Amino acid sequence: MTKVIVYGSKGRLGQALLACAPNFPNIQIVGQVDLGDSLEAVIGQADVVVDFSSPKATLGLVKCCVAAGKAMVIGTTGHTLEVRAEIRREAGPIAVVWASNFSPGVNVLFHLTHSAAELLGPDFDLEVMEMHHRLKKDAPSGTAKTLAEILAGVRDQQFAGEETYPRQKVKKAYTSQGRRGDTGGRDCNEICVHSLRGGDVAGDHTVYFAGDGERLELTHRASSPRVFANGALRAAQWVHKQVPGLYSMGHVLGLV
Ligand code: NAD
């Protein structure tokens, strides 16, 4: 049995986790924590804390889990690069699955994106587009950032900063906020990420490989937040049995 605390329990994903948990006979929810609730009161009963809250909350939560010796699943997105680095440092003593997306389909998309970028080579222009529901707080999505990082990694490029536009950007860079203003023609080093918001879209992601005379598009569409909740519960069961370390959803699914 894996005893789980849902952190951010009143949110969209928190509610989806609570709705999906009965489908996992080996998972028992021992705590539901949201703003105003006491984590300290319940953390002692848990094996794993699952975080779908706010990017401002994750680092403090990691420190609590390390102090209590509890494993974690981190689903929250929108952390700054500095906070991401600090989470990585602090989480060393515990087992953590940290994923920008828990759906099996998106994790296969990560693999296909890597392969397509390698196979098509540098002559194809790379762009990423994502769409999410009107209530999503961060942009671009963590998944879109992961896709851009995969593409940049294949091309040995580095992140150029969220407010970097083509006019100012350095060579060997990808940008994360689309385009605006007098951008001039497209530079072959650009990898731009574009964010759409509206309705109740659970999460759409498309990677474009645009060449001369042809275009390849890889698209994943999530139709329910339950796909992320089921993946995160699967990750909670898995991480409970792991030695300390930082793991991805690819590890859980056996893809890496
Ligand atoms: P939401 O705004 O509906 O819910 C967040 C919940 O966290 C709210 O109930 C809020 O009160 C609570 N919360 C905020 N700060 C807290 C704190 N300090 N302590 C305890 N609770 C706190 O958001 P959501 O749609 O459920 O998404 C939550 C996070 O998960 C976002 O960062 C989102 O981008 C991410 N997400 C990740 C995946 C994935 O697969 N990794 C999928 C969907 C969403």
Q: Is the CB of 248 under 6 A from ligand 1?
A: no
List the one residue out of 224, 193, 188, 187 whose CA is nearest residue 208.
Answer: 193
Q: How far apart are CA 22 and CA 30, in angstroms?
A: 13
List the one residue out of 188, 218, 215, 189 whose CA is nearest residue 113.
Answer: 218
User: What's the pLDDT at 174?
Assistant: 62
User: What's the pLDDT at 163?
Assistant: 47
Query: Which atom in ligand 1 lies closest to the alpha carbon of residue 53?
Result: 7
CB-CB contact of 107 with 228 (8 Å): no
Q: Is the pTM of this model over 0.85?
A: yes
Mean pLDDT, range 63-72, rounded to an integer = 98
Q: How confident is the model at residue 171 (pLDDT cuts 50, 70, 90)?
A: very low
Q: Is the CB of 195 under 6 A from ligand 1?
A: no
Q: How confident is the model at residue 170 (pLDDT cuts 50, 70, 90)?
A: very low
Strand partners, 28: 3
| String of DSSP letters for 141-192 | -HHHHHHHHHHHHHTT-EE--TT--TTTPPSSEE-SS---SS--SPPTT-EE
Query: Which atom in ligand 1 lies closest to the alpha carbon of residue 14?
Result: 26
Question: Which is it for the CA torsion 235, 66, 61, 195, positive or negative?
Answer: negative
User: What's the pLDDT at 177?
Assistant: 72
Q: Is the CB of 230 under 6 A from ligand 1?
A: no
Residue with CA closest to ligand 1 atom 1: 11
Mean pLDDT, range 125-145, rounded to an integer = 93
pLDDT of 184 over the 90 cut: no
Tens of pLDDT, residues 2-19: 999 999 999 999 999 999
Q: Is the CB of 102 under 6 A from ligand 1?
A: yes
The residue type of 244 is: P
Residue 199, helix vs strand vs coil = coil
The CA distances from residue 135 to 35, 93, 107, 142, 200, in Å, are 18, 34, 24, 15, 8
The residue type of 108 is: V
